[in-house]
Chains A and B, each alone.
Chain A
Amino acid sequence: MSSLCLQDSYDMFEMNGEVDVKMKKKKKIKKKDRLEGMKKEMDIVSLTSSKAAEVLERDGPNELLPPKGTPEYVKFARQLAGGLQCLMWVAAVICFIAFGIEFSRGTLGCFDDLYLAITLITVVVVTGCFGYYQEFKSTNIIASFKNLVPQQALVIRDGQKNQINAMDLVVGDLVEIKGGDRVPADIRIIFAQGCKVDNSSLTGESEPQSKTPECTHENPLETKNIAFFSTTCLEGVATGTVINTGDRTIIGRIASLASGVGNEKTPIAIEIEHFVDIIAGLAIFFGFTFFVVAMFIGYAFLEAMIFFMAIVVAYVPEGLLATVTVCLSLTAKRLARKNCVVKNLEAVETLGSTSVICSDKTGTLTQNRMTVAHLWFDNVIHAADTTEDQSGQSFDQSSETWRSLARVAGLCNRAIFKPNQESLPIPRRIVVGDASETALLKFTELAIGNMMEYRERFKKVVEVPFNSTNKFQLSVHELEDPMDLRYLLVMKGAPERILERCSTILIKGQEMPLDEQWREAFQTAYMDLGSLGERVLGFCHIYLNENEFPRGYKFDSDEMNFTTSGLCFAGLISMIDPPRATVPDAVMKCRTAGIRVVMVTGDHPITARAIAANVGIITEGSETVEDIATRKHIPVEQVNRRDARACVISGGQLKDMSSEELDEALRSHPEMVFARTSPQQKLIIVESCQRLGSIVAVTGDGVNDSPALKKADIGIAMGIAGSDAAKNAADMILLDDNFASIVTGVEQGRLIFDNLKKSIAYTLTKNIPELTPYLIYITVSVPLPLGCITILMIELATDIFPSVSLAYEKAESDIMHLKPRNPRKDRLVNESLAAYSYFQIGAIQSFAGFTDYFTAMAQEGWYPLLCVGLRSHWENVHLQDLQDSYGQEWTYAQRLYQQYTCYTVFFISIEICQIADVLIRKTRRLSIFQQGFFRNKVLVSAIVFQLLLGNLLCYCPGMPNIFNFMPIRGQWWFVPIPYGILIFVYDEIRKLGVRRHPGSK
């Protein structure tokens, strides 16, 4: 009984994971009950409405429940509570407290603290909104599954046919489906007539599956008597009982599998978190140390708190997260122009660090279109042109045999083009008919010309359609020459069956007796084509004897009252879903880039292997264990597994493997193909790769791929062929379905990683010259050289553009010839990068700032030695006649404006040094003279813009009281230039060293 077959096989599809394990036990008991119950109910054929209502109450409506998402406000709050954000909140609070206290004291300039607090909060909130918006854009997965839910279903209840809402279907309901309907639930077929369903979105099989009441396989996905929720019935009618509804259906499970898979953190997110932790830690460390130092020196608590706040503001790179986001979105835009749409910004970089690509076969590597690949006639295998745009080489078509073969293929064919498609290229036209007939129709249309008209010339008299017992199809035609009154019988079918019926073979247009020699030649050709994973059909024909079958002879298709043996064999035609033209090249490029391409498909092992070999996933000369065994004539067990580079594992084998065995298989065979895999198994394969430390990209198009797409570090869905579910689960969508676009993605990803490294190094450098003024201020008590608002202007205004412009930098070397980065070793920010930025370049910048600061002070009358220890007098609000080195008397406000002058001068120094910094960051190994100063136009304009902005801040009227900038003497712009040159020269020397001694890295 089919119900038994169901019960066992369903367990195979069970998901692992905690929830499912728990559910499993319950389900088993329940399912038995349910199935028992169903048996009884089947006798009375239909449910009663009351019983249905009862079951509906128990099981819930037949719909996919959306997963419990995080509330939006929690998501938003999370954006505001990152490591750096928390620090900035603390700083803002301290500012508020300081403002409150100083305001009550009536101190001059206390509003600076208020502005600072507001600016800090604005920065946090704006950055938070930006991040939230990015997250918001990645859409909810379950929504697309919902779109698949049918609206109405024809159900038999109380012995009557009713049209009801599909949501109200319950287990045990009897439903009818017909061509064009969507299957309303998982249904076991109890009656079917020519019913075919399209399972492609679920299993990845491109051919329509016929559905009959027989249970043909223990796997529910393979058996013929189950139709799945949300698939489409293409033709015929069927009646069946509902066996599962809602989330318990196969698609419901895939949906819950996909949404149950947590969103993995992207490698770049991990990197950013890693260094944000470092920065935040260091900021607190510095802040706290100097808080203690200040308290120890004898500052008041409030002052020490303000120092703490100022150090945090100085040290935290406020603009960094925005810079990273902008850099990533620039790359995302660049990718979008190349037909890769990135849904999750961070995924832009993930492709760059990808070390394994698990690719689906159908529709990703292949065209998802049966196409004639080879022909065998005149004892030669001819290769047909399988490219999408018919740009390939064609074979010699001069032979008479070819003409006969093409005639058979064209006439013995029921497929027809849909009308009004003349403007479309032939491969794109829509055809009514099954896959192989479609392939043949298009092939003959291309080779001969207008097939519809051709067929009319050969009027069809009778035809016998294909069936599974005789495994052939034949038709009888009148000849196009009206004088020739013979009938032509054409036949195609399984090659061995066709050969059985032939007694002659057509060689170069001549009929030759079919002797042993030819039979052997046929066998060889058949085997050769079969081993390519191609579906082979045999073709033969015969001119019926004019006397025996005169015009008007009554042909009977059932009795077959005509010659069906002793035919003339014309040839073999083999078909395959061919790989896309660009794929082999792309796979090759991936290989040179150190990326492993693994095929994971729902298709059969032989086809999978053939395509894998075709596109280069299995390279020439690589053997599987089985190949070695055959070659050496030894049992499979005796083969050393390590000798086999390639390995093909089917879903059945995979089921029996432990995760360790799978890991071992992935480790020992560089070239892997997984065939006949379920969505669950795709997930397991991805997990296994991740366990081995790889960054995994998954490409796919079907619903069955969506859990793996979600689990992968980066899921890539096909834009044209892809199902909505796959697109939603994916992080990236290839609009042109072109696997080769992935290579572009990898290149851009690697480039952006390199460039982000440069951007971050650039951004981090200036934190030191921002921090040192405070340290000197606290310890040596000089008038404050650099204010918090000025720091924020550097962080958020002037330096943003150069750091973003580094994203436009060209690659230094051929990044596509390097291995993918090791996520554990090649960090975005490592100690040496930080040390170099902070303690070398940053130190030089600090000295530049102080030089300019002391210059400005000395030239206005305050000698450096006088400045030391001056702080308490300098900041005394009531002291209106403080004497400088020349005996001049300064009021408090005059000193304050002098202090603002110092801020501005320090600001200018940092800017000038940062220009040198951005120039040195352009390259990490090459000399800048090799890379070219002006090749990155964006960078050049960013520098110009930075200078203009600096000038605006300095010389725009009103700035002194808004942002504490003073118009400074032109000479002070030139003081830091020698330090800028020093930075430049120093780094050139370093790069020279790195180039001369690459080993010492």
Chain B
Amino acid sequence: MEEVCMGFGQGGILWTHRGSWFKILGFYLIFYAFLAGVFIGTIQALLLTLSNYKPTWQDRVAPPGLSHTPRSDKSEIAFNLNDVETYLTYTKAMREFLVMYDDDKQRDQMKYEDCGEQPEDYKNRGDLESDVGIRKACRFQRSWLGPCSGMEDRDFGFKEGKPCLIVKLNRIVNFRPRPPSSNESIPEGAQTKVQPNVMPIFCTNKREEDAGKMGEVKYYGIGEGFPLQYYPYYGKLLHPQYLQPLVALQFVNLTMNTELRIECRAYGENIGYSEKDKFQGKFDVKFTVTNL
């Protein structure tokens, strides 16, 4: 080894020497094999130090994002209620998303349990590292989403110009969202929605000039927000059946034929917003509904 690595050191290589190519090749084979061994060993050692249930750090993933279905390019939802084609992609996405919330999927008593239809406190299912194993998930019934459940209206109100959005708070392992403790940081319209054990969500017009054009927004779901009994999330391994609580928003009185920018925010003590991240604790969406 020493002999060889000298030959290829800075001193100079006899490139032209017959057979030296094989030596070089051989040397590099050994060298890279050694390095790759060290690398793989290190990575293995690293993986051993990781917990199976909870990431070592959650520097970037918290506070959680607020994501909605249907997604759209450039956050723009534009459709013509007379033309099915224009909103088919949206309704299709919503139907696909809600499939896992179908009642027949939640029948298994070993995996699911009822957590009540009223907001309750966190449901503690033991420590992450304890030997309890797989934890049960709370059931979430589509019907709680009312007209936005897609059970009666397969078009989620799009046909009538009263489109629904389904909103969820992004999952974070072991994250316990805390409802707002006071009304101070919450806009006036949302203050009525504050109640114990629920994370309220509230939508407003983003631009001043859109004031009044948005119309009424109806909120469906437990407590019209994210109820605490669904938290904390125990991670993919311990909580494979986990269902996030959903909130459906229905814009029942949108001004037609105008571009409206609507911003929805979830409120809570440990919900943060960032200028750079448009989807952290909030999102905004642009509605253009035409009926011509």
Contact = CB atoms under 8 A, between A and B. Distances in A.
A895 B280 CA distance: 12
Interface in A850-875: 850-851, 854-855, 858-861, 863-864
A860 B60 contact: yes
A997 B280 CA distance: 63
Contacts of A839: 28
Interface string B255-267: 0000000000000
A467 interface: no
Given A982-B38, A989-B2, A880 B67 contact: yes
Interface string B1-28: 0110111111111010000000000001
Contacts of A886: 53-55, 173, 235-237
Contact of A836 (B9, B72, B242): B9
A300 B39 CA distance: 32
Contact of A890 (B10, B36, B68, B170): B170
Given A851-B39, A886-B54, A969-B57, A891 B236 contact: no
B280 A891 contact: yes
Contacts of A808: none
A885 interface: yes
A847 interface: yes
Contacts of A880: 65, 67-68, 71, 170, 279, 283
Contacts of B3: 993, 997, 1000
Contacts of B28: 839
Given A831-B13, A1000-B7, A881 B170 contact: yes
A836 B276 contact: no
A993 B65 contact: no
A881 B283 CA distance: 13
A1000 B61 contact: no
Interface string B225-243: 0000000010111010010
B173 A993 contact: no
B5 A832 contact: no
Interface stretch (B40-48, B82-90, B149-157, B209-217): B40-48
B81 to A, nearest CB: 24
Nearest to A833: B10
A854 B47 CA distance: 10
B139 interface: no
B43 A861 contact: no
A832 B38 contact: no
A889 B170 contact: yes
Interface in A963-1001: 969, 978, 982, 986, 989-990, 992-994, 997, 1000-1001
A843 interface: yes
A890 B9 CA distance: 47
A887 B2 contact: no
Interface in B59-76: 59-61, 64-65, 67-68, 71-74
Interface string A889-901: 1111111011001
Contacts of A822: none
B278 A888 contact: no
A809 to B, nearest CB: 15
B274 interface: yes
B115 interface: no
A500 to B, nearest CB: 72
B173 A860 contact: no
A640 to B, nearest CB: 38
Given A836-B10, A858-B50, A989-B5, A890 B65 contact: yes
B5 to A, nearest CB: 6
B193 to A, nearest CB: 23
B192 interface: no
Give the one of B55, B71, B242 with max A CB within 10 A.
B55
A840 interface: yes
A879 B70 CA distance: 11
Contact of B39 (A850, A863, A891): A850
Interface string A337-349: 0000000000000
A884 interface: yes
A889 B171 contact: yes
A981 to B, nearest CB: 12
Contacts of B222: none
B58 interface: yes
B173 A888 contact: yes
Interface in A666-694: none
Interface in B181-209: none
B7 to A, nearest CB: 7
A844 interface: yes
B233 A832 contact: no
Contacts of A885: 55, 236
Nearest to B35: A847
A864 B50 CA distance: 12
B5 A993 contact: yes
Contact of A835 (B13, B55, B278): B13
A71 interface: no
A885 B51 CA distance: 11
A810 B239 CA distance: 64
B104 interface: no
Interface in A748-788: 761
B50 to A, nearest CB: 6
Contacts of A455: none
A905 to B, nearest CB: 12
A557 interface: no
A830 interface: yes
Nearest to B47: A858
Contacts of A847: 35-36, 38-39
B277 interface: yes
Give the one of B6, B31, B58 with max A CB within 10 A.
B6
A25 interface: no
Contacts of B64: 889
Nearest to A861: B55
A162 to B, nearest CB: 73
B56 interface: yes
Contact of A894 (B50, B56, B72, B277): B277
A863 B68 CA distance: 26
Given A840-B31, A961-B276, A990-B5, A887 B239 contact: yes
Contact of A879 (B36, B68, B71): B71
Contacts of A851: 39, 42-43, 46
Contacts of A860: 55-61
Contacts of B39: 847, 850-851
A839 B68 CA distance: 48
Contact of A854 (B46, B60, B67): B46
Contacts of A854: 43, 46
B172 to A, nearest CB: 5
B263 to A, nearest CB: 15
B281 to A, nearest CB: 10
Contacts of A994: 6, 9-11
B170 A891 contact: yes
Given A832-B8, A843-B32, A858-B50, A888 B57 contact: no
A58 interface: no
A990 B9 contact: yes
B239 A884 contact: no
B69 to A, nearest CB: 9
Given A889-B65, A901-B60, 15 more contacts: A851-B39, A860-B56, A860-B60, A861-B55, A880-B68, A881-B67, A886-B237, A887-B236, A887-B239, A891-B67, A891-B279, A893-B274, A894-B65, A895-B60, A1000-B3
10 smallest CB-CB distances across A and B, nearest first, come from A887-B236, A893-B277, A891-B65, A1001-B11, A993-B6, A889-B170, A859-B56, A861-B55, A880-B67, A891-B279
9 contacts: A840-B5, A861-B55, A886-B53, A887-B239, A888-B171, A889-B61, A892-B279, A893-B274, A897-B60
Interface of B: 2-3, 5-13, 15, 28, 31-32, 35-36, 38-39, 42-43, 46-47, 50, 53-61, 64-65, 67-68, 71-74, 168, 170-173, 233, 235-237, 239, 242, 274, 276-280, 283
